[in-house]
A = this chain, B = another copy of it.
Amino acid sequence: MATATRRKKTTKKTRTPKMTYCWGASKTEGDATKKELLGGKGANLAEMTSIGLPVPPGFTIPTTICEAYYDQGARMPKGLGEATAKAICRVERETGKIFGSSSNPLLVSVRSGAAVSMPGMMDTVLNLGLTDAAVQGLIKLTGNARFAWDAYRRLINMFGDVVMGMEHEDFEDEFDLVKKKFGVELDTELSAEGLEEVCNRYKKAYKKHVGSAFPQDPYKQLSLSIEAVFKSWNTHRAKSYRQINGIVGLKGTAVNVQAMVFGNMGTDSGTGVAFTRNPSTGEDKFFGEFLIDAQGEDVVAGIRTPKPVSEMPKWNNRIFKELLKNKKTLENHYRDIQDIEFTIERGKLWMLQTRSGKRTAAASVKIAVDMVKSRHINKDEALLRIPAGDLVQLLLPSFTSKSKNKVTTLAKGLPASPGAATGTLSFTAEDAVKRSEAGESVLLVRKETSPEDIDGMHHAVGILTSTGGMTSHAAVVARGWGKCCVAGVSSLHINAARKTATIDGKTFGEKDILSIDGGTGEVMLGEVERHEPTLSGDFETIMKWADKRRRMKVRTNADSPQDAKRARSFGAEGIGLTRTEHMFFEGDRILAMRQMILASTVENREKALARLLPYQTKDFTGIFTAMKGLPVTVRLLDPPLHEFLPHDTSGQKDVAHALGIKLAQVKLRVEQLHEFNPMLGHRGCRLAITYPEILVMQVTAIVKAMIACKKKKIDARPEIMIPLVGTVEELSQLRVLTEETIKAVKKKAKYTGKLNIPIGTMIEIPRAAVVAEQIAEVADFFSFGTNDLTQLTYGYSRDDINSFLPHYLDAAILERDPFQTIDFDGVGSLVAMGCQGGRKAKPKLKIGICGEHGGDPISVGFCDTVGLDYVSCSPFRVPTARLAAAQATIRA
C-alpha cells in the first residue's frame, strides 16, 4: 500500500504520457523492444509492420495510460477520447473506411495486451463499430446481408458478455428461440432474416440486463471496451496471478485497436495458419493449412477441412509467393520458427499474428542446430532455445497422435513417469511377474505401490495407481527405470480382491487392455500405436555444446548395474544416489532381511545380516564396475523396517513358516513397528543409531566390493551417504562407526592399499539445513534430499497430497507442484542456508542434490544459482539436466 501511495504522488506531478502508438503503412511508432510500454501483442504488431509486412493498421493505448487510469481513481484519463478519435482517423485514412459509416464502415477489434500474458485479462471484442446504421453500410459494401447481420449479432453478444458482464446464456436462449421459429437446427442454417431477428432480440436482452440500449455510437462502444480492458487488469485472478508469479513493476495493460479484415468475403478471400518450418520434425519446409472464403475460427473449429498450403499455388500463386516471402522475412527477423496467422480479404494478403512456434522436442533440437549452421543464432542461443525438460521425450516411446485421436480417454492422472505403455491389467505384483514371464504385456494397477511390489513393477510394462503424487513410490521408482507411470488417477477405484478396476462406472478386469501415457497422464481404452525413440546426430551435437558450457556436474540416481550403465550412456558423470533398500527385496534376500527384523537379539540380527552381506557385496561390485572411474554415492538403509514385512495375515503366515517361528511373533513385531506417521518415524540414520549392526554390514559390503574391484584394477570410487541426519551428533557417532568398520574390513582382508571413501550426509531434514555449519564439521559432502526436505518444510506428505493439491493449484495457492519444481522461497531458502552454513565450516565442501528436483530444469537452474557442485537425477533425465545446467551457466 505504501508503495502505491508513493507512486501516486510522483505520477501526479508528471505530464500525462503519450496516449496512442499507431502502426500502419504511413507511420509506425512502436517496435518489439517496447513490450513493457505497448504489451507483447502491440509491440509485435508494430514490429511486423516495421519490417514491411502487410498488417491491418491500428494503434496501441500504452500501459502507462492504464496506470494513469488507476492513479486517477479508476477514471478514464482526460484527453483519451480525443486521442483515440485521432488514432481512429489515421486508421480510417489507411483503410479508406469510416468508423460508423452507413456506406463504408470501418470495423475494429479491441484486445488487451500486457507485457506478460496472464489469465483473467479481457477477451477480444470483434466487429466493433457496427451499429444499426453501419450494418446497412456493411451490407452495401459486401452485398452479403447474412454476413453483415452475423457480424452484428456477434458484436452484441461479445460486447454484452465481455464488456458489460452479461451471461452468455442470456443470448444463447434468444438464439434458440429464433432457430425454433425458423425451424432450423444449426446456427449456419439461419438466414439473413433470421440473423436480423437475432440482432433485434439481442439488443432487447442487452437493454434488459444492462439497463441501457446497445450503444449506437461507435466511439461509445470503443470507449467502454477500452475501460473494460483497464478493469480486467485488476481482477482478483489477474492480481493473484501476478502476486504468485512475483510479477512486479508492470504499470498495467495496453489496449490494441486494429482494423478488422475478413477472409469470408467470397472465393477471393481466405484464411490460414502456418509454421515456417515443420514443428513436428523441425524440417525446414513451410507447413500449414488454409481455407477459402472462411474466418479464422473456421480453421480452428474443424467444421470444414482445410487444405495444406502446398495446394495454395493452384488457388492463387501470387498470394502464395507473397506468403513465402513473408515467411522468410519473419524467420530472418525473429531467427526462430514462427507460427503465423494470415487472412486474404478480396485478394489482399494480411498478416495477423506471428509468434515463436511451439514444436516437438525433436524439432526444437533440429531447428536449434540448423539455425546455428545458417548463422541465424549462436550456440548459446541454440542451447537456450531448447526446453530442457522435453529431451526426455526423445529417449522414450510415445503414442502417435493420430492413433491417440482414435481411442477413448477414460481418465487423467498425474504424468508421473513419461513413456507410453499398453497392456492387460494385473492387480498384484505376483500376478505381474507370473503373467509377464508367460509373455504377456501387463500394466501393474495398484492403489499405491510399496517396496514389496518392486519385482512386479519391474516386470510390468507400465504402472497405474489411483493415489500418490509425482514423487510417490511408484513415480520415483518408475522414473528411475524410465518406465511409464500414471499416478494418482482419482477416478480409478481398484478392488484388488476381485481383481477389477472401475472408472466412471465402467469396470475392467484382468483381460482388458488399457494404454497409459506417462507424459500426459492419460488413461485410454485399448491399444494405441507407439512411436519408438531414435536419437539423432543433432541431439549429440546439442549435448556436446551443453557439456562444454555447464559448470555443474550431472550424476544419476541408480540402484543397479543396468541403470548405472544406461545413465552412463546418457552422460551421467557418477551416481549421486544409490538406494540400498530395493536390493533387499529380491529372491532369498527378503527372507534374510525379515529374519533380521524379527530377531530379538543383536546376535540373531547379526546372523541374519551375515546372510545378506554376500548379496550386498555383489550388488556394490556390479555398480562400482559399471561406474568405474566415477564416484558412486551409496545411501545406507533409509526406510522404516515395517516396509519389509508383509501386512496381511497370509503374507505373515508365509514368513512365519519360512522362518520357523509363530505367526503371533510376526504379528507382534508388525504391531511393534507400526507407526502413525512413518515418514516421521524410525528410519534413516535413526535405524543405524539403534541397530548399528545394519550399518556395519552395509559398510562392510561397500569396502569388500571396493577391494574386490581394486584387485581387478577397476577404479571403484564409493562415497558413503548417511540419510536423514538432523543433528551433528548423529553423523559424528555414525562416522566413527563407519570409519572403524572400514579399518576393520581392510585389516581382515589384509588390504594394504589406500581406500579413500568420503563419508557425507543427506540434508533432507529442515533442522539439518539450519544447523548445516555444525554438521559440515563431520561431513565430507552434502547431498540435498529435496523430496523429504519439501515434505517437511511444507508439512506435505507426498503420498497424501492429492486430497488438496489440485485445489491448491486451481486456487493459485501454489503456482506449481513443489515436488516437481523446487519452491524457491521456502525449501530453496533452506537449501541456500544449508549451502552457506556448510561452506562456512568447510569452504570447499562438495554439495549436490539427489532429490527428484535434480532432473527438473527450473530447479537445476536454482541449484546453479546457490552454487551446488552437481545435480543427480534418474537416468532418463540426465540429458535434460545436462542441458538445463548449461542454460543455467549461460543465464548466469
What distance in Å separates the Cβ of A497 from its nearest Cβ neighbour in chain B? 13
User: What residues on B are CB-neighbors of A791 within 8 Å?
Assistant: 680
State whether the Cβ of A675 lies closer than 8 Å to any Cβ in chain B. Answer: yes
User: What residues on B are CB-neighbors of A793 within 8 Å?
Assistant: 765-767, 770, 792
State whether the Cβ of A826 lies closer than 8 Å to any Cβ in chain B. Answer: yes
Label chain A's interface by main secondary structure: helix
Q: What is the 8 Å Cβ interface bit string for chain A, positions 700-734, against chain B (1 contact, 0 not)?
A: 00000000000000000000000010110110010
Contact B678 A771 (CB under 8 A): no
Instruction: Give the contacts of A746-778 with B (CB-CB under 8 A).
Output: 764-767, 770-771, 774
State whether the Cβ of A567 lies closer than 8 Å to any Cβ in chain B. Answer: no
Q: Report the bound CA distance from A676 to B677 in whole Å.
A: 7
Which listed residue, B788, B811, B812, touches A795 by the CB 8 Å rule?
A: B788
Contact B770 A800 (CB under 8 A): no
Contact B792 A675 (CB under 8 A): no
Contact A813 B766 (CB under 8 A): no
A771-B826, A811-B689, A830-B766 given as contacts; is B726 within 8 A of A794 (CB)? yes
User: What residues on B are CB-neighbors of A689 within 8 Å?
Assistant: 804, 807-808, 811, 813
User: What residues on B are CB-neighbors of A401 within 8 Å?
Assistant: none
Instruction: Give the contacts of A791-818 with B (CB-CB under 8 A).
Output: 791-797, 799-800, 803-804, 807-808, 811-814
A690-B807, A767-B794 given as contacts; is B680 within 8 A of A774 (CB)? no
State whether the Cβ of A316 lies closer than 8 Å to any Cβ in chain B. Answer: no
What distance in Å separates the Cβ of A5 from its nearest Cβ neighbour in chain B? 16
Contact B729 A244 (CB under 8 A): yes
What distance in Å separates the Cβ of A614 from its nearest Cβ neighbour in chain B? 29
Q: Report the bound CA distance from A796 to B676 in whole Å.
A: 11
Which listed residue, B680, B771, B797, B800, touches A800 by the CB 8 Å rule?
A: B680
Instruction: Give the contacts of A339-364 with B (CB-CB under 8 A).
Output: none
User: What residues on B are CB-neighbors of A829 within 8 Å?
Assistant: 770-771
Q: Which residue of B lies closest to A726 (CB)?
A: B794
User: What residues on B are CB-neighbors of A830 within 8 Å?
Assistant: 766, 770
Contact B729 A800 (CB under 8 A): no
Q: Report the bound CA distance from A249 to B733 in whole Å.
A: 23
State whether the Cβ of A492 lies closer than 8 Å to any Cβ in chain B. Answer: no
State whether the Cβ of A825 lies closer than 8 Å to any Cβ in chain B. Answer: yes
Of A680, A681, A689, A765, which is in contact with the most chain B CB atoms at under 10 Å from its CB?
A680
Q: Report the bound CA distance from A682 to B675 in whole Å.
A: 18
Q: Report the bound CA distance from A804 to B641 in whole Å.
A: 13
User: What residues on B are CB-neighbors of A808 within 8 Å?
Assistant: 686, 689
Contact B767 A823 (CB under 8 A): yes
A767-B827, A804-B689 given as contacts; is B680 within 8 A of A795 (CB)? yes
Contact B794 A795 (CB under 8 A): no
Of A765, A770, A808, A823, which is in contact with the most chain B CB atoms at under 10 Å from its CB?
A770
State whether the Cβ of A85 lies closer than 8 Å to any Cβ in chain B. Answer: no
State whether the Cβ of A240 lies closer than 8 Å to any Cβ in chain B. Answer: yes
State whether the Cβ of A866 lies closer than 8 Å to any Cβ in chain B. Answer: no
State whether the Cβ of A679 lies closer than 8 Å to any Cβ in chain B. Answer: yes
What distance in Å separates the Cβ of A796 from its nearest Cβ neighbour in chain B? 6
Contact B680 A825 (CB under 8 A): no
Of A724, A788, A791, A803, which is in contact with the most chain B CB atoms at under 10 Å from its CB?
A803
Q: Report the bound CA distance from A753 to B767 in whole Å.
A: 47
A770-B826, A792-B766, A825-B770 given as contacts; is B680 within 8 A of A814 (CB)? no
**Given contacts A676-B678, A766-B793, A792-B792, could you give 15 more A-B pairs where the C-beta distance is less than 8 Å?**
A244-B729, A675-B797, A676-B797, A677-B799, A680-B680, A681-B800, A682-B804, A689-B807, A689-B811, A690-B804, A726-B794, A767-B826, A770-B825, A774-B825, A792-B795
24 pairs of residues in contact across A and B, judged by CB atoms under 8 Å: A676-B678, A676-B797, A677-B799, A678-B800, A679-B797, A680-B800, A682-B800, A686-B804, A689-B804, A689-B813, A690-B807, A724-B795, A727-B826, A729-B813, A729-B814, A730-B813, A765-B793, A766-B766, A766-B795, A767-B823, A767-B827, A770-B825, A771-B825, A774-B825
Those 5 A-B pairs whose CB atoms lie nearest each other, nearest first: A680-B797, A767-B826, A677-B797, A682-B803, A766-B766
Chain A interface residues (CB < 8 Å from chain B): 240, 243-244, 675-682, 686, 689-690, 724, 726-727, 729-730, 733, 764-767, 770-771, 774, 788, 791-797, 799-800, 803-804, 807-808, 811-814, 823, 825-827, 829-830
